[in-house]
A and B are shown apart, each in its own frame.
Chain A
Amino acid sequence: DAGVTQSPTHLIKTRGQHVTLRCSPISGHKSVSWYQQVLGQGPQFIFQYYEKEERGRGNFPDRFSARQFPNYSSELNVNALLLGDSALYLCASSSGTSSYNEQFFGPGTRLTVL
C-alpha cells in the first residue's frame, strides 16, 4: 500500500505569487491535516479536513486555504506569498479525528519563497 504522497517535492516561488500543494492520503483514510515546519522548529498545525469538511484551523492568516475532494485528496493554497512562508509543508492522513487515530505523514513539500 502506498503511504501519504505529496506533490511537488520542491517548489521555488517569488513574493506575491500563489502556490498550490497537493496531498493524497492513505487509501481508506478520510482525514487530512496540513502542517507547516519552518527550519529549526516543530511542525505547526494549519488545517484539518474530515469527510470534505474543515474540522480545525490553526493560527494562520486568510492567505492560507485548503480543501478536500470527494476522493479525500487535499490541496493547500497560499496566496500573496511572503518570505516567511518558506518552509516544509507536511500532510498527514488518518482514519478518523480521535486522538487514538494514528496520523501518517507524507515526505512534505519544500517551498522556497524568494
Chain B
Amino acid sequence: GEDVEQSLFLSVREGDSSVINCTYTDSSSTYLYWYKQEPGAGLQLLTYIFSNMDMKQDQRLTVLLNKKDKHLSLRIADTQTGDSAIYFCALPRATNKLIFGTGTLLAVQP
C-alpha cells in the first residue's frame, strides 16, 4: 500500500509559526489537501494545492510542495490557541477516495 507519513506531534508558542510536514510515496494526485480535525468535530478542509504548483498562500496558511522529494508542508503564521488540533494531509485517488496521512497533533501554548 501507499504511505503518507507525518510527524506525530508539534508544540509551539502562541504567535510563533508552525510547520507541519507530510511525505508520500505515490505522486499521481492532481490535488493535495490539508484537513483540520478538532475534538468532537469532523474533518474540515483547510486548504489545497494543485500538483503543478510549488507554493500556495491563503491568509495565514502557506502550503509548499516539493514534488521531487514528495514532500508537502503546511505553515501556519502567527499561530493561535484556536489552531490547536490534529492536521492531516490527504491525497485523492480514483473516484476521489482520500488517502490520509497519520496526522500531526498541534499544541499551541499560550
CB pair B101–A56 under 8 Å, yes or no, is no
Interface residue A105 (Cβ < 8 Å from any Cβ of B): yes
Residue of A nearest to B35 (CB): A105
Q: How many residues of chain B get a CB closer than 8 Å to chain A's CBs?
A: 24
On whether A103 and B98 interact (CB within 8 A), knowing A42-B4, A42-B88, A108-B42, the answer reads yes
Stretch in A62-70, A73-81, A91-99 touching the partner = A91-99
A residues 35-54 in Cβ contact with B at 8 Å: 35, 40-45, 48, 50
B residues 4-37 in Cβ contact with A at 8 Å: 4, 29-31
Interface residue B40 (Cβ < 8 Å from any Cβ of A): yes
B residues 37-88 in Cβ contact with A at 8 Å: 40-45, 88
CB pair A102–B45 under 8 Å, yes or no, is yes
Complex contacts, A108 vs chain B, CB 8 Å: 42
Interface residue A31 (Cβ < 8 Å from any Cβ of B): yes
CB pair A48–B96 under 8 Å, yes or no, is yes
In the complex, the number of residue pairs spanning A and B with C-beta atoms less than 8 Å apart equals 65
Majority-rule SS of A interface residues: loop
- Report Cα–Cα, A50/B96, bound state, in Å: 11
CB distance from B80 to the nearest CB of A (A): 23
B residues 87-110 in Cβ contact with A at 8 Å: 88, 90, 92, 94-103
- Report Cα–Cα, A105/B42, bound state, in Å: 6
- Report Cα–Cα, A4/B1, bound state, in Å: 29
Interface residue A25 (Cβ < 8 Å from any Cβ of B): no
CB pair A4–B42 under 8 Å, yes or no, is yes
- Identify the A interface with B (CB < 8 A): 4, 31, 33, 35, 40-45, 48, 50, 55-56, 58-59, 90, 92, 94, 96-108
**Extra A-B contacts (17), CB below 8 Å, given A45-B97, A56-B97:** A35-B100, A41-B102, A42-B90, A42-B101, A43-B88, A43-B98, A43-B100, A56-B94, A90-B43, A92-B98, A97-B95, A97-B96, A99-B92, A100-B31, A103-B96, A103-B98, A105-B43
- Identify the B interface with A (CB < 8 A): 1, 4, 29-31, 40-45, 88, 90, 92, 94-103
